[in-house]
Structure 1
Amino acid sequence: MKSKITLKELAKLLNVSVSTVSKALHDSPEISPKTAERVKELASLHNYKPNPVAVNLKKSKTGTIGVVIPNISNSFFARVLSGMEAEAQKHGQQVITYISNESLEREKQICDMLTSGFVDGVLIAVSEETQKKQIYDHLFGLLDYDIPVVIYDRINLGLPADKIGVDDEKSFYDATKFFKAKGLEKIGLASAIHHVGIGQLRIKGYEKALQKDDSSFMATSTKPDDLKRKIKILITEEKVEALLCTDFESAIMATRVAYEEKINIPKDLKLIGYISKDIAEFLTPSLSYIEQHPQELGSNAINILNNRIEGKYQSGKFEEEIIATTLVHLESTRF
């Protein structure tokens, strides 16, 4: 028996991307009415239907949530997962965890498994490689099987899904303003994640807080040795008075460079990092950090997903929740 047409085959016939077809079939506001009509007409003509096995399985709830974590080296995600599991238990649900290791290919494999219909919904923090290459067809594939999806943490993506994250841009805007209010003029920024959405938002907040006459001092690189070299230039040659670090790697690198160059923190250099409380408090000196409230993020992500599963949100309209961060001052920002 000849199989029915697939999503990819429809996209090929229409000369559009798979994501465009999926968005059109799900009434995404991103797709023009003309394109949506064209897609639906061809889908109807070829009797297109999502995988029947997955559809049948979705008729009854499994009580299982799939969670995709980009990496396990960052304790932030462990704390997010803790919040997810605690909240899921309240709803009588279990969580199955997958790790993409920041790999697009691994993320695709995970999404393929999740379309088999054994989960009620998916929570995913999109991998760095996926964001860098901007390939999202596998995520639209989940939607094609009517699997509710909530994107968490890394939400600066043009995907038609519910999202929950923190106020990345505002956090660095406020941190930069804090240093300016203290009279500091040479405020720098270091980042190993400048190429992905959350890194870009934090940099945007920093730049927005600087006024026209202020100079920006930035060290950005995905290569550890290169990042260390650039941070050293900021600290020893540019002599920045304060440094904002967008991520764990740049924060640890900055403290190391300061130690090697005998730069006194906080006397000669003030430092703020996006780093977990567990590590920040045990550094010498202790590192002021931006608290992202990961348990709350995880808990709220489960609630958003359950609201979508239970049909409490309008189809085609997506929720976005932003959690306020808190700047926690420890020894590295003492004046």
Structure 2
Amino acid sequence: MKSKITLKELAKLLNVSISTVSKALHDSSEISPKTAKRVKELASLHNYRPNPVAVNLKKSRTGTIGVVIPNISNSFFARVLSGMEAEAQKHDQQIITYISNESFEREKQICDMLTSGMVDGVLIAVSEETQKKQQYDHLFALLDYDIPVVIYDRINLGLPADKIGVDDEKSFFDATKFFRAKGLEKIGLASAIHHVGIGQLRIKGYKKALKDEGAAMMATSTKPDDLKKKIRDLITEKKIEALLCTDFESAIMATRIAYEEKINIPEDLKLIGYISREIAEFLTPSLSYIEQHPQELGSNAIEILNNRLDGKYESGKFEEKIIATTLIHLESTKF
């Protein structure tokens, strides 16, 4: 009698990653036909089946969706969740929310719980630590248990799942071109998230818009004191004319440092940040910002998941939707 085998054991026998096995079993175009054939032959030989408990539970809908949020300090995710809730209610679905706190281990724990079949699908913004480690086996496990996954916001990951995000790269390309069209040459960038996907995309857009990438002047660090020092150097020593901030932390630091150094915004320094409108409008001066339309992102994430659940997407092919951002000009970009 053929013995049953787990996804992890299959991967070990084949000397490949769990993600490769999962992709092959889900007919991902990322896997070569030769590798896919090896995986499927061995899976068949050992009578591989996804977790039977989860499969049985998935025969009928639970009406529940699991949402994993990386942190609650960022109001962006609260607005995304609001959009998800509103759309889910239209479909008589309930949302269970989990917070990973940007932790790889916590994210793994959450995904392990979700493989029990308690939800119809999972919406997840992958934690910063998971992206640093580039370890995604817990996400492939969800797919192995036949649980649809939609990755939202932080989407430039090589995972076989549906995705929805915003045009991070284009947003900073356009913002940089805006300053250049106004005749500014010394345009800087500050980032506390340069090490993760969305930060890298925003930096890429900034560099693309410069005539010469060697002209890039950047302050990047995950350490607050170090980042402050680098931003101060851009403003006071390099005397930049404009600054793009990829995240809330760097934007708030920049406004504070300008105040401390008696640098007038917008007369001496123009400023654009990735920051929520609720905060941007109440700063003095008010801060021009990139509007990411988080409610729209959230509602679309639910729609994509339901389309997957209803069989509207072809197996092995994944949806990727990009929402256009909007540059909102307030006082910090007045000319």
SS in 2 for 1:219: strand
Q: Which residue of 1 aligns with 2:10?
A: 10
SS in 1 for 2:143: helix
Cα distance between partner residues in 1 of 2:315 and 2:71: 31
Q: Which residue of 2 aligns with 1:219?
A: 219
Q: Which residue of 2 aligns with 1:89?
A: 89
Q: Which residue of 2 aligns with 1:70?
A: 70
**Which letter maps to 2:16?**
V
Counterparts of 1:199-238 in structure 2, within 5 Å, are 199-212=199-212, 215-238=215-238
- Listed one character per residue, the Cα deviations across residues 210-257 of structure 1 (whole Å, up to 9, x for unaligned) are 003871110000000000000000000000000000000000010011
Q: Say whether residues 1:305 and 2:305 are aligned partners.
A: yes
**Which letter maps to 2:35?**
T
Cα distance between partner residues in 2 of 1:301 and 1:98: 16
- Tell me the number of residue pairs that the alignment of Structure 1 and Structure 2 aligns: 335
SS in 1 for 2:215: coil
SS in 2 for 1:240: coil
Q: Which residue of 1 aligns with 2:191?
A: 191
Counterparts of 1:125-164 in structure 2, within 5 Å, are 125-164=125-164
SS in 2 for 1:243: strand
The two structures have a TM-score, normalised by structure 1, of: 0.98
Q: Which residue of 1 aligns with 2:251?
A: 251
Cα distance between partner residues in 2 of 1:273 and 1:263: 17
- Any conservation in 1 of the 2:3–2:47 contact (CA below 8 Å)? no
- Any conservation in 1 of the 2:207–2:213 contact (CA below 8 Å)? no
Q: 1:3 to 1:127 in 2, by over 3 A?
A: farther
**Which letter maps to 1:102?**
E
Cα distance between partner residues in 1 of 2:80 and 2:115: 24
Q: 1:245 to 1:302 in 2, by over 3 A?
A: same
Cα distance between partner residues in 2 of 1:185 and 1:43: 59
**Which letter maps to 2:96?**
I
Q: Which residue of 1 aligns with 2:60?
A: 60
Counterparts of 1:23-62 in structure 2, within 5 Å, are 23-62=23-62
- Listed one character per residue, the Cα deviations across residues 88-145 of structure 1 (whole Å, up to 9, x for unaligned) are 0000000000000001110000000000001000000000011111001100000001
SS in 1 for 2:140: helix
- Any conservation in 2 of the 1:185–1:214 contact (CA below 8 Å)? no
**Which letter maps to 1:70?**
P
Cα distance between partner residues in 1 of 2:178 and 2:56: 55
Cα distance between partner residues in 2 of 1:271 and 1:214: 21
SS in 1 for 2:265: coil
Q: Say whether residues 1:267 and 2:239 are aligned partners.
A: no
Counterparts of 1:288-327 in structure 2, within 5 Å, are 288-327=288-327
Cα distance between partner residues in 1 of 2:213 and 2:118: 57
Counterparts of 1:102-141 in structure 2, within 5 Å, are 102-141=102-141
Cα distance between partner residues in 2 of 1:328 and 1:10: 51
Q: Say whether residues 1:284 and 2:309 are aligned partners.
A: no
**Which letter maps to 1:333?**
T
SS in 2 for 1:130: helix
Cα distance between partner residues in 2 of 1:170 and 1:214: 20
**Which letter maps to 1:113?**
M
- Give how far 1:5 is off: 1.3
Cα distance between partner residues in 1 of 2:114 and 2:239: 50
CA RMSD of aligned residues (A): 1.2
Cα distance between partner residues in 1 of 2:119 and 2:4: 24
**Which letter maps to 2:270?**
K
SS in 1 for 2:189: strand
- Any conservation in 2 of the 1:85–1:95 contact (CA below 8 Å)? yes
Cα distance between partner residues in 2 of 1:119 and 1:8: 23
- Give how far 1:4 is off: 2.6
Cα distance between partner residues in 2 of 1:24 and 1:242: 48
- Any conservation in 2 of the 1:149–1:161 contact (CA below 8 Å)? yes
**Which letter maps to 2:99?**
I
Q: 1:177 to 1:23 in 2, by over 3 A?
A: same
SS in 1 for 2:20: helix
Cα distance between partner residues in 2 of 1:334 and 1:226: 29
SS in 2 for 1:48: coil
Q: Say whether residues 1:330 and 2:316 are aligned partners.
A: no
- Any conservation in 2 of the 1:122–1:149 contact (CA below 8 Å)? yes
Cα distance between partner residues in 2 of 1:321 and 1:12: 34
Identity %: 89
